Amino acid sequence: MGNYRFIISGGGTGGHIYPAISIADELKRRYPNAEFLFVGAKDRMEMEKVPQAGYKIEGLWITGIQRKLTLKNLMFPIKLISSLIKASKIVTRFKPHAVVGTGGFASGPLLKVASSRGIPCVIQEQNSFAGITNKLLKDKVSKICVAYDGMEQFFPKDKIVKTGNPVRADLISLSEDKKESLDFFGLNQEKATLLVLGGSLGSKRINSLIAENLDFFKSLKIQLIWQCGKGYIETYKHLNSETVKVHAFLNDMAKAYASADFIISRSGAGAVSELCLVGKPTIFIPSPVVAEDHQTKNALALVEEDAAIMIREEDLDEKFKIDFQEILDSTARKEELSKNISALALPNATKDICDEIEKLLN
């Protein structure tokens, strides 16, 4: 039977949305006649990104709880009740055979309703430290697909399957040619290349770090591919040069990764999973303003395996040049970091998650 109906819920950030779309794409490949419905939070980025990927989406009136007492928090119980009622109507009407949650505000009400009706539900937890929504749902769902070891501290052991995080299909083989990729960016094959990634919105602190250190990189004969984010391109585009290529956004990540000898990146779950596949020496600079400090915990999980360097934002002035120079100067250190980060890659994540969903259908 291929006429399955799937509801997939995840949103708020790209880290929840892109895995959800990857899972839908793989299920669609396996079941071309299946129907799909995404459920997100109104006014969040999934309401734009999911239709762009070719799927229908409905929005719930839901937001997270703020850390301080605000009017939004007083509205939370009303929004939650409203979302549970709407989620109930969606499930009644669509009659899904399975429901998948990849995190974000909307997945809570939806999976709560679906699981209470005995519909098989799967959670995909991207981070090394589980989110609040997923922790609340842990006893209700059938399976929990994770990307890190040691997740028994958050979830029932018998429900956990280590699959890894879905990544973009074009990165799995990473067959891009380095010379062609450097030509694409207009860079010199004789020089080492640093790729700087501040996340899709860009990072104010990483951008200021790079701008302050352009002379340092120049002295080391390092050239840069610098993704500064669309909010910062006007501030930094004047720094474009023969050796510094400033981009608001990188549309061809496979070429960017192929060009790089070293990488500086935030440590969101999706970025970490991609960089394990890429296998280049990486310095993670976690965002300090992410819920539950997920990014620091994700980076530390790699640091513990000697698979990456992590520098906290408050330590950058003191440590950045020393740590970067240390990687640059030692071929053995570069090789060790590359080998150890590559060993953590889980390239079959999307397939393995869909295998778990398939088992529940049967």
Torsion of CA 335, 338, 344, 345, to 10 degrees: -130
Token code pair at residue 348: 């079959």
Which tokens is 297 given? 């915990």
127 is in an annotated binding site: yes
Instruction: Find all residues with CB under 8 Å of 196, minimum gap 6, and list them.
Output: 206, 210, 224, 225, 226, 227, 228, 263, 264, 265
- Determine how many CB atoms are found less than 10 A away from the CB of residue 210: 24
Annotated ligand binding at 325? The verdict is: no
Residue 108 annotated as binding site: no
Task: Output the CA–CA distances (angstroms, integers) from residue 247 to 198, 228, 241, 274, in the order listed.
Answer: 11, 6, 12, 19
Q: Encoding tokens for residue 84?
A: 């549970």
> Distance between CA 288 and CA 266 in Å, rounded?
10
Residues sharing a CB contact under 8 Å with residue 330, sequence separation 6 or more, in sequence order:
none
Please choose, from the candidates 273, 269, 353, the residue with its C-alpha nearest in 3D space to the C-alpha of residue 23.
Answer: 353
Residue 9 assigned as binding residue: no
DSSP H or E stretch at residue 29: helix 14-30
Please tell me the distance from the alpha carbon of residue 191 to that of residue 69, in angstroms, as a whole number: 52
| Three-class DSSP category at 87 | helix
Is 15 annotated to bind ligand?
A: yes
Gap between the Cα atoms of 193 and 179, Å rounded: 12
Q: Pick from 200, 229, 286: which is nearest to 14 by CA?
A: 200
Q: Sort residue 203 into left (φ over 0), alpha (ψ -120 to 50) or beta.
A: beta
Residues 6+ apart with CB under 8 A from 321: 213, 216
**Residue 14, annotated ligand binder?**
yes
Q: Tell me whether residue 287 is annotated as binding.
A: no
Q: Rounded distance, CA 223 to CA 189, Å?
A: 10
Question: For residues 297 and 319, what is the distance between their CA atoms, to the nearest angstrom?
Answer: 19
How many Cβ atoms sit within 10 Å of the Cβ of residue 252? 14
What residue numbers does the annotated binding site cover? Answer: 13-15, 127, 168, 200, 295
What residue numbers does the annotated binding site for UDP-N-acetyl-alpha-D-glucosamine cover? Answer: 13-15, 127, 168, 200, 295
